Each structure stands twice: as structure tokens, then as C-alpha cells.
Amino acid sequence: MPGAATVNYHVHSASRQAFQIDAGGVAGNLISPELVATEIPLRDLRGSEDAVSFSTDGVSFVTSPSNVTSFDDGNDWQQVYDRELTELLIQHLGAKEVVVFDHTLRVDDPDSNRKPARNVHSDYSTEGAEKRLVDILGSDKAVEWNTGHYAFINIWRPVENQINSAPLGFVRPSSVTNEDWILIDLIYPDRRGHIMGLAASDAHEWVYQSHMTPDEIVLFNIYDNQGLPSVGHSAVDLVEDPSVHSIRKSLESRTVVRF
């Protein structure tokens, strides 16, 4: 039976909404649009990970230990880890070419500059994905990739400890309608982008995998130019074991993949 958890959904509005990130030039200072806390039924896939698949749900849970033991502020580990992610996407999804372009370490601590994202969203609109593709590859190569099949894929891994609180939850795309999505601006001190926020619906089917360890990852679709749905996701307010007090740390790695 599903358990219960809480997420923060976006809200439809007559005016354009935005997150202000590092507002006022202060790292970690976040000003959010209106969000509404909503209790959801949450299905744990532990023991039945194959209940979702990347080809139909845009989500796949994979056991994939890393040779990297410390994802610190330096970048010495990135070459090794990028190679591991590239091999994973080639083997698991049949990718022909992979570019790893961003890593974000999130720590569930008030003093962290990058906390878990507690709003239900997906990372790219069509316009945002096309612009990001040019930013990463350059105009000429982006045109070449656009003639075929490409996708932005996020790879999420626990860091240091098993996840006990604020696990990452996903909405099965088959339970989401186009009307549920809301375009949300991202305003940085030096640039502007946008994401797709998700409004609440009783039809949404939420899934996650409990007690994920640093040897486990979840990869999920955040944009596909040939129509595989983007996956709504969020850290969910849930504590697995109240007697455990480890800090939730995770690494999310963004990639763009050519098939």
C-alpha cells in the first residue's frame, strides 16, 4: 500500500511566475513563487524497481557503484565520474554520444547554498532545452543534433549516507496532463532561464525508491526532442526512520545524450 508524504506544488496564476536564485547577489538566497504544500500517496518501488522503465515512464533505478569516494568542491573527481556516467548511458539507454555538463551537490542543511529542490517541476521547457543545447554544443553542432534524437537526462545519486529523509519522488508521466504544467522563470544574477512547474492533481501517481544508497542511482528524463515525456519530480517531505539523523546529501548530474 502507498504511504503518505508531502510535496510543494506550483499554482496556476494569471501572471508569469519566477524563482529568483542567488537573489541580491547572495549565494543560496532563493525567492520562490507561490507553492502549496500537498499530501500525496507515495508508492515505494524498493523490491519492484522494474515497475517503472525509462522507455515508458522516463525513470529507471539502477545499481551503479562509483569509483569516486568524495564529491568535494574540487574537480579532480569529475573526469572519472563523467566517464562512468557516459558508459552507463551508453550501456543502459543505448546512447551514441554523451555530454555531461553540470554537477550539483545538494545538502539538506540550512547553511547549504544548494538545498534539495522542494518544488514539483521538470528542468526544461522546449525553448529552454533548445537554448541550453546551443549553450553546451555551439550553434552548428546543436543544429546537427536537432536533426536526430537527443534528450536531457538527469542522474541522481545519494552521497556519503543512505537516504533517510527528503527522498526524491517522481510523478508517472501517464498520470499528468498538459494542463498541469506551468512555465516558471528562473532569474539568476547574470542570466534568465525557465523550468516547468507542476500544479496539483489527484490523478498524479507518485513513486520513489526507499533507503537509496550511494551505490544506487536513478536516471530520469528532463527533456526529449522526440516526445518522451519529461518527468515531474521533487524532494518529498518524508522521514524513513526517525531514529536516524544523517544529513541528506545527493549529487545530481545533468547530461545531454544523442541517440
Q: pLDDT (tens digit, 9 = 90+) per residue, 146-202?
A: 999 999 999 999 999 999 999 999 999 999 999 999 999 888 888 777 889 999 999
Give 71-137 as a DSSP string. Answer: --SSSTTHHHHHHHHHHHHHHHH--SEEEEEEEEEEE-STT-SS----S-EES--HHHHHHHHHHHH
Q: pLDDT (tens digit, 9 = 90+) per residue, 54-108?
A: 999 999 999 999 999 899 877 789 999 999 999 999 999 999 999 999 999 999 9
Segment 117-127 mean pLDDT: 93
Q: pLDDT (tens digit, 9 = 90+) per residue, 218-245?
A: 999 999 999 999 999 999 999 999 999 9
Alpha-carbon distances of 120 from 136, 166, 222, rounded to whole Å? 25, 13, 13
Percent of the chain with pLDDT over 70: 99
Give residue 31's pLDDT.
83
What is the pTM (predicted TM-score) of this model? 0.93
Tell me the three cell numbers of residue 219.
Answer: 536516471
Q: pLDDT (tens digit, 9 = 90+) per residue, 6-47?
A: 999 999 998 889 888 787 777 778 788 999 999 999 999 998
Check pLDDT > 60 for residue 1: no
Give residue 32's pLDDT.
84
* Local confidence band at 138 (pLDDT 50, 70, 90 cut-offs): very high
Give residue 2's pLDDT.
67
* Local confidence band at 50 (pLDDT 50, 70, 90 cut-offs): confident
Domain spans, the chain: 3-66+102-125+152-254
Segment 122-126 mean pLDDT: 92
Query: Helix/strand/coil (H, E, C) string of 32-81?
Result: CCCEEEEEEEEEECCCCHHHCCHHHHCEEEEECCCCCCCCCCCCCCHHHH
Give residue 19's pLDDT.
82
